[in-house]
Structure 1
């Protein structure tokens, strides 16, 4: 898939945010990637950067060995979509996650996500990934 220069910058920004913030669950690194007043649509976290940092600290404390395995990523204009598999611990079937980020002025300014449990058994032979 070919991206224009801005879409590629947006994709690179979100990938870097995953590499430095979400994968290591390092809320302190979030300032480099996420606007202070960003809009959060996740129903488990309040809106803004400070609540996200607190959430990441909490999750890292509860699941220090969590894995975020990125399966695919897309950019379309000012939006970046990441599809990945979260496993909290060894043997965890985990979650299938789809994040949508809106980027403005080289910072993430808005976030939506959809999270689905990955079942241990399914009548569907196709993986969610």
Structure 2
């Protein structure tokens, strides 16, 4: 890996990490408003494309006010994957196992994909979900 790709990868990981911290810890969309591209493309069936529509969705989403604990953060150039445990306000304390995949260009988030599932009973996954 060249130094320029390593620097890009590191920068993109930090942008995504800071995005999760801003949204789930500080409950603030200001940072996200600055890093989501105007023409942001969403591939999740329950969320809209476009920066303004996506930010409005985040403010009202079922997981707004929930928590996220990042378990794995992987990056390769423009792509960053986050494997995290998300709990919903008033929901099951085990929450959801989520993998988000983000694509960035020039320091802006331009695309998002995700998969999620409820964290099953520990007896079903003796080695753990995370």
Count of residue pairs brought into register by the alignment: 126
Structure 1: runs of 5 or more not aligned: none
Distance 2:128 2:42 in 1: 28
Say which of 31, 36, 52 aligns to 2:33: 31
* Counterpart secondary structure, 2:109: strand
Distance 1:52 1:23 in 2: 19
Superposition deviation, residue 128 in structure 1: 1.1
Structure 2: runs of 5 or more not aligned: none
Structure 2 vs 1, CA of residues 127 and 68 (structure 1 numbering), >3 Å: closer, same or farther? same
Counterpart position of 1:112: 113
Superposition deviation, residue 50 in structure 1: 1.7
Whether 1:7 aligns to 2:18 is no
Counterpart position of 1:70: 70
Task: Please tell me whether the aligned partners of residues 48 and 57 of structure 2 are also in contact (alpha carbons under 8 angstroms).
Answer: no
Task: Please tell me whether the aligned partners of residues 25 and 56 of structure 1 are also in contact (alpha carbons under 8 angstroms).
Answer: no
Structure 1 length normalisation: TM-score?
0.84
Counterpart position of 1:40: 42
Task: Please tell me whether the aligned partners of residues 73 and 80 of structure 1 are also in contact (alpha carbons under 8 angstroms).
Answer: yes
Counterpart position of 1:98: 99
Superposition deviation, residue 94 in structure 1: 0.6
* Counterpart secondary structure, 1:109: strand
Task: Please tell me whether the aligned partners of residues 26 and 56 of structure 1 are also in contact (alpha carbons under 8 angstroms).
Answer: no
Taking only aligned residues, the RMSD between alpha carbons, in angstroms, comes to: 2.3
Distance 1:105 1:4 in 2: 14
